[in-house]
Amino acid sequence: DVKVTQSSRYLVKRTGEKVFLECVQDMDHENMFWYRQDPGLGLRLIYFSYDVKMKEKGDIPEGYSVSREKKERFSLILESASTNQTSMYLCASRSGTGYNSPLHFGNGTRLTVT
């Protein structure tokens, strides 16, 4: 089974701090994603990466950046955390883009910015 591991289950940070959310997948997937999940808003794509050192903006990239130095690892960076970034963050990976290439999600990091 594919395993997507997010390094922290819960994080509490202060406004203005730089925050790193880490994600590792063990199935050599090319594509990795960061989503944000908020009640009533569903899953919204922040950034994705289709190869090492490659990245593209999703629907809500403002206030975030990403890093992918190794194929298995994809980091989400909040340059200066704000209270409106309090949310559940979900990392996902995918082996390709075809019909039989589902997204595999981690269990999420719940971030609270105070």
Q: Which of 29, 78, 108, 111 forms a contact with other proteins (CB under 8 A)? A: 108
- Min CB(97)–other proteins separation in Å: 5
Q: Interface with other proteins includes 106 (CB under 8 A)?
A: yes
Q: Which of 17, 26, 28, 56 forms a contact with other proteins (CB under 8 A)? A: 56
Q: Interface with other proteins includes 48 (CB under 8 A)?
A: yes
34 within 8 A of 87, measured Cβ to Cβ? no
Q: Interface with other proteins includes 111 (CB under 8 A)?
A: no
Q: Which of 8, 11, 13, 45 forms a contact with other proteins (CB under 8 A)? A: 45
Q: Interface with other proteins includes 89 (CB under 8 A)?
A: no
Tokens of 44: 């919204």
Residues 66 and 35: their CA atoms lie apart, in Å, by 12
Where in the chain does DSSP place strands (E)?
A: 4-6, 10-13, 19-25, 31-38, 42-51, 54-57, 64-70, 73-78, 87-94, 104-105, 109-113
Residues 95 and 88: their CA atoms lie apart, in Å, by 24
Which residues contact other proteins (rule: CB under 8 A)? 4, 31, 33, 40-45, 48, 50, 56, 58, 90, 92, 97-99, 102-108
